[in-house]
Amino acid sequence: MNELKEIIEDISKTMSEFSDLLEKRNAELERRAKFDEELSNQIQDLLDRHK
C-alpha cells in the first residue's frame, strides 16, 4: 500500500511539473506572438509610407 502511495505522489509531482512547463511554454508563445504582431505592424507601417 505504501508503494502505491509513493507511485501516486510521483505521478502527482510529475503532472505538476509538466503543468508548470506548459504554463511557461504558453507564456513564451504569447510573448513571441506579440513580438511577431508588433513586427508585422512596423513592417506594414514602413510599406505604407513608401507607397
Quote the radius of gyration of the chain (alpha carbons, Å).
Answer: 22
Q: Which of 47, 44, 18, 41 is nearest to 33 (CA)?
A: 41
pLDDT digits (tens, 9 = 90+) for 7-46: 999 999 999 999 999 999 999 999 999 999 999 999 999 9
Q: What is the pTM of this model?
A: 0.71
Amino acid 1: pLDDT: 85
Q: Alpha-carbon distance 1 to 34, whole Å?
A: 50
pLDDT interval class at 3 (50, 70, 90): very high
Q: Alpha-carbon distance 51 to 46, whole Å?
A: 9
Give the torsion sign (CA, 40, 46, 47, 49).
positive
Region 4-9 average pLDDT: 96
pLDDT interval class at 51 (50, 70, 90): confident
